[in-house]
Amino acid sequence: MTLQMHMGRRGRASDAGNVVVEAAILAPLFMLFLAGLLIAMRIQHGSAVVSQAAADAARQASISRTAGQAQAAAAASARATLRNRGLHCTPQVRLDVSGFHRPAGRNATVGAQVTCHIRLADLGLPGLPGSRTVTRERLSPIDPYRG
C-alpha cells in the first residue's frame, strides 16, 4: 500500500508540468482567436453604420425638392450618421437622382450609395491591413408632392 501511495504521488507530480506546456500552446491560439473576433466585430459594426448612413442619405434626398438639394442633404446626412455612431471616415456619397426628372405626382425613387474606409490599423494588432472598404446602397421613395 505504501508503494501505491508513493507511485500515486509521483504520478501527480509529473503531471504538474503539463499544465504549463498546455498553457504555452493554447494561450497564443486563444489570443489569435480574440484578435480575429475583434477584427470581425469592427468590420460588422462598420458595415451596419455605413448601411444606416446610406438609408439616412436616401431618406434625406427623397424629401428634398430638387436634385441639387438632394445631393447636399444626402452628403450631410451620411456624414452626421457616421460621426454620431462613432465611425470616423470621410464617406463618398453617390446618388441616383433620375427619379427627380419624373413629373410630380408620379412614383419614383432615389438611390444612395455610401462608401467608407473602416480603419483596422488603430486596433493595434501587428500585420493588419490599414483599412477595409465598405459600400452599401439604399433606396427611398421620392415625395410625390414635392412640387
Tens digits of per-residue pLDDT, 14-50? 566 687 888 888 888 888 888 888 888 888 999 999 9
User: What is the pTM for the complete model shown?
Assistant: 0.75
| Integer Cα distance of 53 and 94 in angstroms | 12
- pLDDT category at 147 given cuts 50, 70, 90 is low
The answer as to whether 147 is a domain residue is no
Task: Say which residue, 15 or 70, is predicted with more confidence.
Answer: 70
Q: What pLDDT score does 75 carry?
A: 94
Identify whether 52 is part of a domain: yes
Count of structural domains, the chain? 1
Q: Does residue 134 fall inside a structural domain? A: yes
Residue 68, pLDDT > 70, answer: yes
Residue 42 lies in a domain: yes
> For residues 88 and 76, what is the distance between their CA atoms, to the nearest angstrom?
14
Q: Give residue for cell 427619379.
A: 99
Query: What pLDDT does residue 114 have?
Result: 96
Range of the domain at 46: 2-141
Round to whole Å and give the CA distance between 89 and 72.
18
Domain contains 146: no
In a domain, 66, yes or no: yes
Within-domain flag for 129: yes
Strand partners, 118: 132
| % of the chain surpassing 70 pLDDT | 82
Q: Is residue 47 part of a domain?
A: yes
